[in-house]
Structure 1
Amino acid sequence: MVATTNELDGMPVVASREDFDKTSGVLLERMIFNNRFLLVMACLLLTLLLGYFASRLEINASFEKMMPQSSPFVQNYRANAASLKGLGNSVRIVVENTKGDIYDPAYLEVLRKVNDEVFLIPGVDRSFMKSIWMPVVRWTEITEEGYKGGAMIPDTYNGSAESIKAVRFNVNRSGIVGSLVANDQKSSMIFVPLLETDNATGKALDYRAFSDQLSQIRSKYEKEGVRIHVIGFAQLVGDLIHGMIEVFTYFIFAAAIAMAIILLYTRCIRSTLLVILCSLVAVTWQLGFMQLFKFVLDPYSVLVPFLIFAIGVSHGAQKMNGIMQDIGRGTHRYVAARYTFRRLFLAGLTALLADAVGFAVLSLIDIPVIRSLALSASIGVAVLIFTNLILLPILLSYTGVSSKAALRSMKSSEAGQHPLELWLGRFTQPRWATAVLVITAALAAAGLVIASQLKIGDLDAGAPELRPDSKYNKDNAYITSHYRLSSDQFAVIVTGPDDMLLNYETLLEMDRLEEELRDLPGVQTTVSAASLSRQYTSAGFEGSEKWITLNRDPYVNYDAINYVYDSNPEMFNNQRSVAPIIAFLADHKAETLTRVVQTVEAFAKKHDTAERKFLLAAGNAGIEAATNIAVTHANRTMLLYVYGAVILLCFITFRSWRAVVVAVVPLMVTSILCEALMVLLGIGVKVATLPVTALGVGIGVDYALYLLTVQLVQQRQGLAVPEAYRAALVFTGKVVALIGVTLAAAVITWAWSPIKFQANMGILLAFMFLWNMIGALIVVPSLATFLLRSATTKSAMPIDAQVEWARALAQESPDGEDAKRSQA
């Protein structure tokens, strides 16, 4: 029998499985393919088991996990959290009377019912909950007999005209208009601080259940003539979780798009289904392992299964294409699977390790939610090494591909016939390569100029995680426009010895910092024990305006501070040793937070003493400022580690610094252009968007690895760059183009997600997939034209001699081929 050889690597075409030497290949290959059935059965059982665990995976989030744990701001907050009630996780519920003002018996009755139902929701810190129906909210006035006060709505309230008149009088003399009552007095607020752990059950707060209960209350009472607005981290997470459930439908769209494009390319249903199946198996395993390791699926890690599926499709298509081409040449499907395993396992393994590095470096960011994302994604990549590099070739060795698809693949792969080979081959010509490199350099320079304007943190008011027209952002806009005190609170923590608030110097320094903060753009107002004690000192002297001051007498301060504590117990602790200065901000944009941080740091540097300290920071805006600082420090460090690891992996694979440069330069250009695109789209770098660049680099290097691996094999066999590149195009390059388009088309569906940061990630990842593909197909050959011309080859024979050598090799018998390989 006469055997032919594959022109790519000289492997003989073996039409019958019996003619193939099962002892050939490396040990790993023999272990895998000589035990196919056992491995398939093990994978089936493991899929069923992990699928069961995946079905039990919890969907939740955590306020604590959003904090950068090593940040001095967060450490200061956590050290004093027990003394800073109401400055952590909380929601604000505003009940609006759509038919008039709040001085309406029907409205007040609805407000009471809402207040009582919210009070009973698990996870509410009931001691510090506030509304005009809560007894802790009191009015106070000075009379001839001294201080006089009481509950905002007294026990004698019965809904009569006299009772309503008393409530109106109490509200107007209490000073809560603009905070708990709207400026126009047509709505009132219920302030609800939350506990991260439910004291009754000991379990973490279930944000989805909490949000669902609020939604039930909203839908129940909005039928009674009121409109309810809710903002706060818990409500935001609830909306994100519900958005996540809708996002799962995009997973179906992504899988359908990927399957349709691959099927259109291969025209083989069974191999296309196997590629999709193995990618879905990888997702199932990943979710199952997440549940076993006690991870939860949160709004930030929900995209990881999408990415694992996309990476799996990318690698699976390469394996399917290699097997299809060998079958088209007449090789038995079992032998074709082993050949493809030999050729592409190392390239695939290196590519997946690069993907893993892209995820793993995210763990450098000291924010637990990002570290969880990094770990869960790394688990997914580890799973892909088995499901797509091993399981898929095994399954294809059983099923093979349709004969029509194989013949069609071979016909399109004939030398000089494939459109990609004809069109892209010109970029190995010096004239075309020079033009490409000049354009690439110009784009990179322009991108650098634009990317220099990239901002850290939120660039919009409200919740940038959601769309501007979302219910949450509409609620936030209403509350911001109708209340004097915003929900963006930045708290400075003042600490000192016990009873420090009785000290005049301490109160004076706190008052001075408040004055500086009020002068900053973006700060609405401030409040602290110092500013409140001014009011109560005046009240102690018959309300005289000249006594709206801080008193040097500790006894006067003692009385004032006690009254502050009675009406505002969250303003300091029982020992009077920890007290916040709260700045209410107009927004939480990065510029606003930076101004506040710089002002407080400068003040603390001048006014801190051995005992009294002004510490940053608490409040939701203070935590966000800490997060912005952590993201700023991690952004470039993360990219440095990603590129360092990718360069190392590429060098191990190629053993050539020139090849490493050829592979990495297009990635760098894409990273620059991605940051420029973020500037043009108004997207800031924050927890939600920080992973994109790292993921783009890790996944994008796959294209260059598959293309250059084949090209360098050809060059080391004696071919020049143009011929080697054309051979790589036919074998792996056309699949690079296919997968680039497929992945971009799949992730661009996220652009319609109700969760804005997921939509942004979809746009950015689609951009990076496409540009990395373009870089691999156009920039890589252009660079190779100049850098890889002197690549080490096994032979320096001219082209004519190579042709004669290939013809002679093709005419040898299998025994002759074995002898030749033995001699080699």
Structure 2
Amino acid sequence: METKPRRLVSRLGEAFIEKTLFGRRAIIVSLFLLTTLWLGFQAVQIKPDASFEKMIPTFHPYIENFLAHKDELKGLGNAVRVVVENPNGEIYTTDFLDTLKQIHEEVFYIPGVDRTAMLSIWSASVRWTEVTEDGFAGGPVIPDTYDGSAVSIEQLRANVLKSGKVGTLVANNFKSAIIYAPLMEFDPDTGEALDYKLFSDRLEKRIRDKYQSDKVIIHITGFAKVVGDLIDGVTQVALFFAIAVVFSLLMLVFYTRCLRSTLIILSCSIMAVVWQLGILHSMGLGLDPYSMLVPFLVFAIGVSHSVQIFNGIVHEVAKGADGLTASRNAFRTLYVPGLTALISDGIGFATLMVIEIGVIQELALTASIGVAVIILTNLILLPILISYSGVSPRAIKKLVDEEEGHSHPFWHFMANFTQRRRAAIVLLVGAGLFVVGFTQSGDLKIGDLDPGAPELRPDSRYNLDNQFITENYSTSTDILVVMVKTTADQCSAYETLDTLDSLQWQLEGVPGVQSTYSLVNFTKIALSGMNEGSLKWNALNRNQQLLNAASVQAPPGSFNSNCSLAPLIVFLNDHKASTLTEVTGEIERFAAENGTDELQFLLAAGSAGIEAATNKVIETAQYKMLAWVYGVVFILCWLSFRSLRTVICILLPLSLTSLLCQTLMAQIGIGVKVATLPVIALGVGIGVDYGIYIYSKMQGYLDQGLGLEEAYFNTLKTTGKAVGFTGITLAIGVGTWTFSPIKFQADMGILLTFMFIWNMVGALTLLPALAAFLHRRPKTA
């Protein structure tokens, strides 16, 4: 700190760059205008984008196992459940059954549904079985002879009971029935990836809107419906964006006292968003529900840097410079810290690429593109435009009044933090907060902490639909699938079934497990049925011929075509991280003790299995991500200032904010998951700007020979004031997200608001307090 910083880009020659840019202002403005028109045309064509495989860590062993056997596990991956309820009684009425059939056929013909694996009581593959004097008897639950008469309905009632589908396809109270529809990853009509927004809209229009009445109530759950509801809700981000623009306009006019400069600032920041969206569409990408919030952050970062540039220009004009000279001088002064801060932002966001989940990697790419664009639109174009427009006399008068005024009690109070006695108090408070954060952040949980879809509000229609299924059916929607792999024709071998039976017995004693089902269950029932229904025979028999005869009648999905894979389905109470960790841990221990080359227990498929894999990736990735983002920021700050003391002053306030953010998450019940993991990296990336701008300005005054306290006082009146303004403005802007119907957006609003405020407070208080002890120059009066 005691030496003048040798900045990262000084070799590029600020004077040369400034001369090149401002010497060709008209050409540059024309190029920006043409580029904006072209990218604007691209931006208006961008569409919401979502993919099942983008939401999951495809490189995790669990997911690799699932994808390798996906074709053999039809119905155990991405699927929707359409529940048809009779609010006035049971399902056994002619009108209701006719309606259920019509809905079944509607779902059957929706593009994207895997029709071969679709299930309901109207499916021919859903059968009943019973033991008679002559042996086994059975057939479709709804036979070809069904005619809606009272007799056929009574026969249907009996068939449902014999089928064993009560609690799975028919509610325990017989008042509703499920249509289970597995999905393909592509739309057969177009050959392109399945459009979840379109699929969700089709479910609404062709099912809920068409059939729901006072006699029929429709409930729909599944990944596709979650994504559709998210996209419907997240489109409200446009409303929040509009609110942010209007609020920023009002705040900037109040701060700058210059309407034309305010409009230029907003125009350049909106231009950055337009360029970002246009570039994404040109690359063939869209906006998924998680990256839809990034354009607002790009706008916020643009406004933040623009305020610093405007501040510098007004100061130059107040010294007597004309508009062009003031813009050139401000650009030369702020080019290095601004570029350093933006590069730190961009690379910090890019570190999210280490998390091998598609939506997070696309979010990282989207944010990095946005920050790169800000370098052009706000760091270069903004001062050029203001060099044409100039600043209003009111803005200059406001600055002169503030600068020449002798009464700055608040700034004097803040400048006192550079005095070692008061700095010690600040550092003690910071140390206390660090201890509190360190002890409390240990309660931070990985994964979802709420039932249903935690991305949506608990009272959302989707979560109410999911609650209905949980309350009325024996099997939950949280399914974990173990793939039991053998050599060909050995899935029904006694050793295989006996080992699988042992695993089921162990799992059913694990807290959080509702029930289990596999080929073992059917084989035991079949053996009992083959022996007059005797319960004594409801067990595995060592006679392999009997086992083969029993298992061969198992329903589709119990094993694959060459009997080398038999799925074990585990129904869970919920998909909380603690439940998944305990269940997968038990399975892994069992597999290690009992697995062989010929008999393997592979994790995992099903919604809960995918969630378990995602949690494991996030648990490891959160620390890797933090190490990368802080490592990158450390290196860039050190290359810019060549002073370890300076880097400490900038990074310690950021690290305290990150720790306190984790504490906040733990206390208000927000888990670390796909939606919240990027928040800390985004907060660090934006927050580092405050420290870089403040320290750069303070170092400039120190280089002029001022003492630390006086240098910081002058910094507060200029850059510090702008940091306080942008911190509060951005915090209020993202604070509006807390009113979103999308819970993860509301969670991100809470966390980003917290980080914006605390990063600002840390840069204005903790940074000078650290400098008081690390700075070696004597302080002047």
TM-score w.r.t. length of structure 1: 0.92
Aligned partner of 2:731 among 744, 761, 781: 744
Please list the CA deviations of residues 60-110 of structure 1 after superposition, one character each: whole Å capped at 9, or x if unmatched: 211111111221111111111111111110011111001110001111111
For the aligned residue pairs, the C-alpha RMSD in angstroms reads 1.4
Say if 1:383 and 1:688 are closer, same or farther in 2 by CA, change over 3 A. Answer: same
Q: Distance in 2 between matches of 1:259 and 1:200?
A: 46
Please list the CA deviations of residues 191-231 of structure 1 after superposition, one character each: whole Å capped at 9, or x if unmatched: 11000112342211110111111111102111261111111
Paired letter, 1:673 = L
- 1:209 alignment partner in structure 2: 198
Q: Distance in 1 between matches of 2:445 and 2:672?
A: 6
Give the 5 Å matches for 1:488-507. 488-507=478-497
Shift of 1:790: 3.1
Given the alignment of the two structures, is residue 683 of structure 1 paired with residue 706 of structure 2, yes or no?
A: no
Name whichever of 740-749 and 528-537 sits farther off. 528-537
Alignment length, in residue pairs?
Answer: 769
Given the alignment of the two structures, is residue 403 of structure 1 paired with residue 393 of structure 2, yes or no?
A: yes
Given the alignment of the two structures, is residue 37 of structure 1 paired with residue 29 of structure 2, yes or no?
A: no
- 2:565 alignment partner in structure 1: 578
Aligned partner of 1:304 among 270, 294, 298: 294
- 2:364 alignment partner in structure 1: 374
Give the 5 Å matches for 1:217-616. 217-223=207-213, 225-414=215-404, 416-418=406-408, 420-564=410-554, 567=555, 569-616=556-603
Name whichever of 427-436 and 302-311 sits farther off. 427-436
Give the 5 Å matches for 1:102-141. 102-141=91-130
Aligned partner of 2:132 among 140, 143, 167: 143
Paired letter, 1:682 = G
2:350–2:364 contact (8 Å) kept in structure 1: yes
Please list the CA deviations of residues 651-681 of structure 1 after superposition, one character each: whole Å capped at 9, or x if unmatched: 1121111111111110111011100000111
Shift of 1:621: 0.4
- 2:9 alignment partner in structure 1: none
- 1:778 alignment partner in structure 2: 765
- 2:55 alignment partner in structure 1: 66
Give the 5 Å matches for 1:44-59. 44-59=33-48
Aligned partner of 1:696 among 669, 672, 683: 683
2:14–2:335 contact (8 Å) kept in structure 1: no
Shift of 1:322: 1.0
Shift of 1:369: 1.0
1:74–1:626 contact (8 Å) kept in structure 2: yes
Unaligned runs of 5+ in 2: 5-12
Q: Distance in 2 between matches of 1:488 and 1:441?
A: 43
Q: Distance in 2 between matches of 1:145 and 1:483?
A: 34
Shift of 1:247: 2.2
Give the 5 Å matches for 1:653-692. 653-692=640-679
Q: Distance in 2 between matches of 1:131 and 1:360?
A: 46
Shift of 1:502: 2.7
Q: Distance in 2 between matches of 1:229 and 1:334?
A: 64
Shift of 1:422: 2.5
Q: Distance in 1 between matches of 2:65 and 2:53?
A: 14
Shift of 1:151: 1.3
Paired letter, 2:751 = L
* 1:649 alignment partner, SS class: helix
1:420–1:734 contact (8 Å) kept in structure 2: no
* 1:401 alignment partner, SS class: coil
Question: For the pair shown, which has the larger CA radius of gyration, 1 or 2?
Answer: 1
2:237–2:293 contact (8 Å) kept in structure 1: no
Shift of 1:607: 0.4
Shift of 1:431: 2.2
Q: Distance in 2 between matches of 1:272 and 1:582?
A: 60
Q: Distance in 2 between matches of 1:422 and 1:110?
A: 76
TM-score w.r.t. length of structure 2: 0.97
Please list the CA deviations of residues 253-311 of structure 1 after superposition, one character each: whole Å capped at 9, or x if unmatched: 11111221111111211111111110100000000111111112111111110110110
Please list the CA deviations of residues 109-147 of structure 1 after superposition, one character each: whole Å capped at 9, or x if unmatched: 111111110000000000110001111111111222222
Q: Distance in 2 between matches of 1:655 and 1:118?
A: 64
Say if 1:601 and 1:799 are closer, same or farther in 2 by CA, change over 3 A. Answer: closer
Q: Percent identity?
A: 51
1:522–1:585 contact (8 Å) kept in structure 2: yes
Paired letter, 1:536 = A
Shift of 1:416: 4.2
2:167–2:473 contact (8 Å) kept in structure 1: yes
Q: Distance in 1 between matches of 2:352 and 2:634?
A: 18
Say if 1:799 and 1:593 are closer, same or farther in 2 by CA, change over 3 A. Answer: closer
Unaligned runs of 5+ in 1: 1-8, 10-23, 792-797, 801-824
Given the alignment of the two structures, is residue 641 of structure 1 paired with residue 628 of structure 2, yes or no?
A: yes
Aligned partner of 2:17 among 25, 28, 49: 28
* 1:543 alignment partner, SS class: coil
1:140–1:147 contact (8 Å) kept in structure 2: yes
- 2:87 alignment partner in structure 1: 98
Shift of 1:25: 5.9
Given the alignment of the two structures, is residue 184 of structure 1 paired with residue 173 of structure 2, yes or no?
A: yes
